[in-house]
Structure 1
Amino acid sequence: MTEDLNPVITLPAILDIRAAEPLKSELMQRRGHAVTLDASGVERLGGLCLQVLLSAIKTWKADGQALIFLNVSQALTEQWTGFGASPDEFVAQDAA
């Protein structure tokens, strides 16, 4: 079995406290590789998942890997900015 070098992770509709640990684990399994996050189905974003995603953005950037948000839902964008995070984070994840 060959490893997908740029896997697409489909984010769940509800990114709440129950989704935080599985999301963190899935991301950390792919650390060191480019990753694409399909955010098209996200309906709700909680603070803990926001922290996981912001941490992943910084980690992938520090590692020189791309972390790309694909098809970001309007709900995710609105809630992301509602927490005070910049929507620019969604588009600024290409490897340095």
Structure 2
Amino acid sequence: MAALALPETLDLKAAGPLKAAFLQCRGEPIEVEAGQVRRLGGLCLQILLAASKAWAQDGKAFSIKGPSEAFLETTRLFGADGALLSADIHGANS
């Protein structure tokens, strides 16, 4: 299983590296560690949503481990909690 630790700030500058990191892990189950996230921008959220969908289409596990409160709240504010937070989440305090 691949592991991907998200950085503290997921803004426009983080989008390219985030996409590249997901592409490198494609084809195997992945655990996304979201405990350090303090800021989540719309573009990076779109990348996370696309990755979640791609993993589902591939029939591979996509889980989010220990999401920070900021990660959870931003996902809810964008209205993406139903799509992204329906992924397997470990350690969520919601």
Q: Normalising to structure 1: TM-score of the pair?
A: 0.86
Match of 2:92 in 1: none
Q: Normalising to structure 2: TM-score of the pair?
A: 0.88
Report percent identity of matched pairs.
42
How far residue 86 of structure 1 moved from its aligned partner, in angstroms, is 1.4
Q: Provide structure 1 residue ranges, at least 5 long, that are not aligned to the other structure.
A: 1-5
Larger radius of gyration: 1
How far residue 89 of structure 1 moved from its aligned partner, in angstroms, is 2.5
The equivalent position to 1:32 in structure 2, one of 27, 38, 48, is 27
How far residue 88 of structure 1 moved from its aligned partner, in angstroms, is 6.2
Post-superposition Cα deviations, 1:37-86, rounded to whole Å, max 9, x if no partner, equal 00000000000000000000100000000111000100000011111111
Q: Distance in 2 between the 1:22 and 1:73 partners? A: 20
Q: Distance in 2 between the 1:29 and 1:93 partners? A: 21
User: How well do the aligned residues superpose, as a CA RMSD in angstroms?
Assistant: 1.6
Of Structure 1 and Structure 2, the greater strand share is in 2
Post-superposition Cα deviations, 1:18-45, rounded to whole Å, max 9, x if no partner, equal 0011000010111010010000000000
Is the contact made by 2:49 and 2:83 (CA closer than 8 Å) also made in structure 1?
Answer: no
Is the contact made by 1:80 and 1:87 (CA closer than 8 Å) also made in structure 2?
Answer: no
| Count of residue pairs the alignment pairs up | 89
Q: Distance in 2 between the 1:90 and 1:10 partners? A: 17
Q: Provide structure 2 residue ranges, at least 5 long, that are not aligned to the other structure.
A: 90-94
The equivalent position to 1:71 in structure 2, one of 60, 66, 79, is 66
